[in-house]
A = this chain, B = another copy of it.
Amino acid sequence: MSKSGILFIISGPSGAGKGTIRGKVMEKEIGLTFSVSATTRAPRPGEIDGLHYHFKTKEEFTKMIENNEFIEYVAKFQNYYGTPKAQVESLLKEGKDVLLEIETIGARNVRKMFPDAVMIFVTPSSFEELERRLLYRGTESEKVRNLRLKIAKKEYKSMKRYDYIAINDDLDQCVNLVCSIIRAERAKRFRNLDIVEHFNQI
């Protein structure tokens, strides 16, 4: 019985620290595989296609969007960045666990594409704390701050689609919690049918 990998999704509102957490969890090397993103930006010296990025033209990328080939994509500095569904599917099929960080808006989509994904919502323990983080980020205008808060409120609406809530009041604790969730999920009985099978045969 070949075992497929687990897709872990980290999401949450801006200011929750999901990017930092994903990075730190990946660093801990707990057997997670990096999914290579696709991008329309030009390769930098030394960057290898398929290793650092899948380099695409704008036309190719747009076509992939139309064909629903991305789990999620964003536009940044006039370039697109996206997570190709096929890439993640093939890693999972090889039995590799993948950890992705996505925006909350993509959460509903992920559930449809990967019903077995383990979805983790990262947030500070109170909205007041998120406000503090968003409002004291720098020298933004009142208007930009209010927009940030309005978006954050919307992002919390998707909370109900998640399996876990990882409180990020202390970064190290939150990183450890996400690692715990990954280890626990791997130990679920329904993910270890090879072991169950072994003991059924005794």
Contact = CB atoms under 8 A, between A and B. Distances in A.
Interface of A: 121, 123, 125-127, 153, 156, 159-160, 162-167, 176-177, 179-181, 183-185, 187-189, 192, 195-196, 198-200, 202
Number of copies: 2
A165 B189 contact: yes
Contact of A179 (B163, B166, B180, B199): B180
A177 to B, nearest CB: 6
A126 B180 contact: no
Contact of A123 (B153, B199, B200): B199
A193 to B, nearest CB: 10
B181 A177 contact: no
A165 B184 contact: no
Contacts of A202: 127, 153, 156
A193 B126 CA distance: 13
**Looking at chain A's contact residues, is the secondary structure mostly helix, strand, loop, or mixed?**
helix
A46 to B, nearest CB: 38
Nearest to A200: B156
Given A180-B181, A181-B183, 5 more contacts: A123-B199, A163-B188, A165-B196, A181-B184, A184-B184
Contacts of A181: 180, 183-184, 187
Contacts of A123: 195, 199
A185 B184 contact: yes
A192 B165 contact: yes
A22 to B, nearest CB: 16
B199 A184 contact: no
A81 B156 CA distance: 49
Contacts of A198: 126-127
23 contacts: A121-B189, A123-B199, A125-B195, A127-B202, A153-B202, A156-B199, A159-B196, A160-B196, A162-B189, A163-B188, A163-B189, A165-B188, A165-B192, A165-B195, A165-B196, A166-B187, A167-B195, A177-B184, A179-B180, A180-B184, A181-B184, A181-B187, A184-B184
